[in-house]
Structure 1
Amino acid sequence: MLDNEELEEMLKIICVVRKHLMTGGPRRLPFTVPPLVFSALRLVRQLESQDGDIAGEDVPATPRAVFQILNQTIEVLSSVPCPELALRLYLQCAETASDCDLEPVAYELFTQAFILYEEEIADSKEQVTAIHLIVGTLQRINVFGVENRDTLTHKATGYSARLLKKPDQCRAVYACSHLFWVDDLDGIKDGERALLCLRRALRIANAAQQMANVTRGNSGPVTLFVEILNKYIYFFEKGNPHITPSDIQSLGELINNEMQSDNGNTTIHSDPFFTSTLRYIRFQKQKGGLMREKYDPIKL
């Protein structure tokens, strides 16, 4: 572990490097800012492990102050413009702030990421990537209280449901179910809201299937339904009391019906993904014990 004097020197170096890098221009900043950010985040973790603050003139002495500098540094990227890179860096900083138990800092960084998404990221493909980055990062963060977490998850699910393409909407919405049931965090196990996300994703998948029926004359692939079925199975095994064997049974029967209604395709279980899922269910039944009791009511 570095002593206080060495940490103080590293802080000074980062401040000097930042001052020079900010003059690099829009073509260089996307390449020079990320290494600076990650070096500063490594220093934040070292500062957090110290018993006391670092004293020094004109040098930030706390993790909170370093995050303030990082916020200002990343903000420059949005004017380059490199909004997607800036969003990634904001989320990385938010995760580090969470590890340092700095809830207000993590919340502010997430807010900046949301503002970037709303105002700067217009391309549909970039929006899909950004949403999954936001959801994945928020899922790993455990520093937020109930009110702040509810605000952020509400925004994330809202953005997910407003993506341009139905399949993208569906996948983003069912990914949001993991925001309400985080297996590693005992305090975040809202089975009802996780189920609501899955049901909403199912409605979107059904709308996408109907659109495929209109445009192509058949029901199209059942991939979205099978993906949602696998999410049902995941939460069922994790002990979500709101997901029952009858839910899995009904969704499996729906997939069977969709596959049978496909013109020219009357073979049930011909979808490889669905076949693999059914094989997994049978495998769980063969285990015996509690797992067999859980899966025994499912007849697929």
Structure 2
Amino acid sequence: MQHQGPAREKERNELRDLVGKNLHVLSQVEGIHLDMYRDTVLPRVLEQIVNCKDEIAQFYLMNCIIQVFLDEYHLQTLEVLLGACPQLQPFVDIKTVLSRLMERLSNYAAQVLPEFWQVEAFSKLNNAIGKVIEAQPDMPIFGAVTLYSSLLTFTLHVHPDRLDYADQVLGSCFKKLEHVGKVEDNKATKQIVALLSAPLEKYNDIVTALKLSNYPRVMGYLDTETSKIMATVEALFELMKGLMKDLEGATEEVNEDDFKEEQNYVAHLIQMLINDDPEEMFKIMCVVRNQIMSGGPKRLPYTIPSFVFSSLKLVRQLQGQDENPFGDEATTPKTIFHLLNQVGFSVLICLKRALRIANGAQQMSNAAWGSTGSVTLFIEILNK
């Protein structure tokens, strides 16, 4: 089917229609039940597909199988179907085939979720994708990330409570990206964004996404152009605005333990914001400074230490360089310490305000109960 030319093209289309119609008719035959499909029909069809050695034919026929046979059959024969994928020709568009299969299974999952657990669909799909990528060493990084993106979408739909599954997918994607190195393909970058967006869209909660240990690792492979870095960081803080500051109109009292846990996640995220380019990292720290200083004094004990440590790491990074890479208007240790000084001054102002409030409260207490009155209120305010 891969030979070109008008005559060959016509023959190819006719053959494609004929084979596709035959597979469709085969899927409608009443006598073909699951056992016969699993033991006889599917193995023989897959054998013919693998042996034909024609990339276009293999792609078309694999798509036909996925489209014409029942989802129940695909689920119960998943291992057999996936086993043929690494045997296909190296340039078969297998990412499209597997993405369509996972999309169909995701839609089918709502009806028979226990069966997905029973057949261990995630494990089989995950293993198959790994083998396909290994069998196609020339697969573009865009194709590999697309496969992992489809698998993550499938996982979040079928197993939303299994964060370990989602993190496993992200970890596999990170290893592939790490092997490739810097990602310069715009299509691959867009797929990485889609991959990282999936957990946020599913849970609508940045805290849940931060529980995925491989999430920030994959995030590190986003395009490193200045504008895109700033957009990514600012968009991330926009998603986290409910954790970074008190939202207008919010009257619900927050549990103290929940508040501490949330702020620890924010502090952890600040330490995850890393860029190899010192100048870009300094710009990121400026964005972080603006965000954490708008959160109020109650959050500062959690966020300021992470900000300081990240800034000091940048200082050490700059001191380790032989020469100034930024010209006359450079990012230097002095500018970073100036930034830290600004933050420290702002924190000091907040502390002075708290002390003034506490002092006023103490004076009111003394006026009401005398000079020997309780100082508990004063101490409580200082501790907040």
Q: TM-score range by the shorter chain?
A: 0.5 to 0.7
Give me the whole-angstrom Cα distance separating, in 2, the residues matched to 1:269 and 1:91: 42
Q: Is 2:169 the counterpart of 1:197?
A: yes
Give the aligned partner of residue 269 of structure 1: 227
Partner of 1:180, secondary structure, is helix
Post-superposition Cα deviations, 1:16-70, rounded to whole Å, max 9, x if no partner, equal xxxxxxxxx99854221323434565x57xxxxxxxxxxxxxxx45754895796
What aligned pairs does 1:84-233 form with structure 2 within 5 A after superposition? 84-94=59-69, 96-98=70-72, 106-108=75-77, 110-119=78-87, 121-142=88-109, 143-162=115-134, 163-164=136-137, 165=139, 167=141, 168-182=143-157, 185=158, 189-210=161-182, 220=184, 224=188, 227-233=191-197
Give me the whole-angstrom Cα distance separating, in 1, the residues matched to 2:214 and 2:234: 11
Instruction: Describe the shift of the 1:198–1:174 C-alpha distance in structure 2 as closer, same or farther (beyond 3 A).
Output: farther
Give how far 1:153 is off.
Answer: 2.0
Q: Is the 8 A contact 2:177 2:221 kept in 1?
A: no
Post-superposition Cα deviations, 1:112-143, rounded to whole Å, max 9, x if no partner, equal 43343233x21335333334344434434424
Q: Is the 8 A contact 1:222 1:259 kept in 2?
A: no
Q: Paired residue for 2:210, among 233, 236, 244?
A: 244
Give me the whole-angstrom Cα distance separating, in 2, the residues matched to 1:61 and 1:39: 12
Q: Is the 8 A contact 2:145 2:191 kept in 1?
A: no
Give me the whole-angstrom Cα distance separating, in 1, the residues matched to 2:83 and 2:123: 14
Give how far 1:194 is off.
Answer: 0.7
Computed over aligned residues only, the root mean square deviation of the Cα atoms, in angstroms, reads 4.8
Give how far 1:284 is off.
Answer: 8.2
- Give the structure-1-normalised TM-score: 0.54
Give me the whole-angstrom Cα distance separating, in 2, the residues matched to 1:38 and 1:205: 39
Give me the whole-angstrom Cα distance separating, in 2, the residues matched to 1:76 and 1:248: 38
Identity across aligned pairs (percent)? Answer: 7
Post-superposition Cα deviations, 1:223-249, rounded to whole Å, max 9, x if no partner, equal 646643543333134228752289799
Aligned AA (1:177): L
Q: Paired residue for 2:20, among 27, 30, 34?
A: 34
Q: Is the 8 A contact 2:85 2:94 kept in 1?
A: yes
- Give the structure-2-normalised TM-score: 0.44
Instruction: Describe the shift of the 1:31–1:252 C-alpha distance in structure 2 as closer, same or farther (beyond 3 A).
Output: closer
Give me the whole-angstrom Cα distance separating, in 1, the residues matched to 2:15 and 2:80: 19
Aligned AA (1:180): T
Partner of 1:124, secondary structure, is coil
Aligned AA (1:198): L
Which runs of 5 or more residues in structure 1 are unaligned? 1-24, 45-59, 213-219, 261-267
Q: Is the 8 A contact 1:173 1:198 kept in 2?
A: yes
Give me the whole-angstrom Cα distance separating, in 2, the residues matched to 1:149 and 1:133: 15
Aligned AA (1:117): C
Give me the whole-angstrom Cα distance separating, in 2, the residues matched to 1:173 and 1:253: 14
Structure exhibiting the larger radius of gyration computed from Cα positions? 2
Aligned AA (2:224): M
